[in-house]
Amino acid sequence: MELLVLGDSISAGYGLEDKSGWVQLLEQRLKRQHASINVINASISGETTSGGLTRLPTLLERYQPRWVIIELGGNDGLRGTPLKAMESNIERLITKAQEAGAEVLLLGMRIPPNYGRRYAEGFFQTYARVAQRHQVSYYPFFLEGVGGIPELMQADGIHPNDKAQDQLLDNIWPQLESLLTHTDS
């Protein structure tokens, strides 16, 4: 069975040593606990919800995943993408995955406050709204316990470093494990 990770630089392991990103750690954990699950990391640095939407149909057809983790939107926020466009893209990502028979885990994100409080809050709330509307598993802030902590971030202050990767996986593990065991039959 396949688990597809559709993300941006955080899931692609930007700036990290090979095999040290949270997706690689997930793959190792799943080999120990759910040996029949194969992880496909289709994450690309700089990816937006629009780019993910363009690539997703081919990925779904090629891999036919049972589960899809969507970790996109951060680059949309950093580019000031209109929130309605981002929300529509995330909804379409979820719908396409569900129509292909996959269970979805949506990972929420926050953006720096320098984009304005209204935009930053609206951005954060978009994930919860979409997750509730489509009744998918959801983790509100993927960088919880990592973002804004200098010793866990790379020099750019945007990307988590090697030391943060276990925390990222641990953040989402309860939701993911519940999803896997609920549909692992």
75: confidence class by pLDDT, cuts 50, 70, 90: very high
- In the chain, where do the E strands start and end? 2-7, 38-41, 67-71, 103-107, 137-139
What is the model's pTM? 0.96
Report d(CA 27, CA 3) in Å as an integer: 10
Q: Which of 9, 11, 43, 137 is catalytic?
A: 9
pLDDT of residue 183: 63
Residue 159 designated active-site: yes
Give, in order, the Cα–Cα distances in Å from 127 to each of 31, 94, 95, 107, 114. Answer: 30, 11, 14, 8, 20
pLDDT surpassing 50 at residue 155: yes
Please provide the average confidence, as pLDDT, over all residues in the chain. Answer: 95
> Average pLDDT of 14-26?
93
Residue 9 designated active-site: yes
Other CB atoms within 10 Å distance of the CB of residue 128: 13
Least confident of 7-11, 34-38, 51-55, 56-60: 34-38
Residue 182 designated active-site: no
Q: Which of 18, 36, 156, 185 is catalytic?
A: 156
Q: What is the CATH number of the domain that holds 154?
A: 3.40.50.1110
Q: Strand 2-7 vs strand 38-41: parallel, antiparallel, or unpaired?
A: parallel
pLDDT of residue 185: 46
Q: Report the number of distinct structural domains present in the chain.
A: 1
pLDDT of residue 19: 81
pLDDT of residue 182: 78
DSSP 108: P
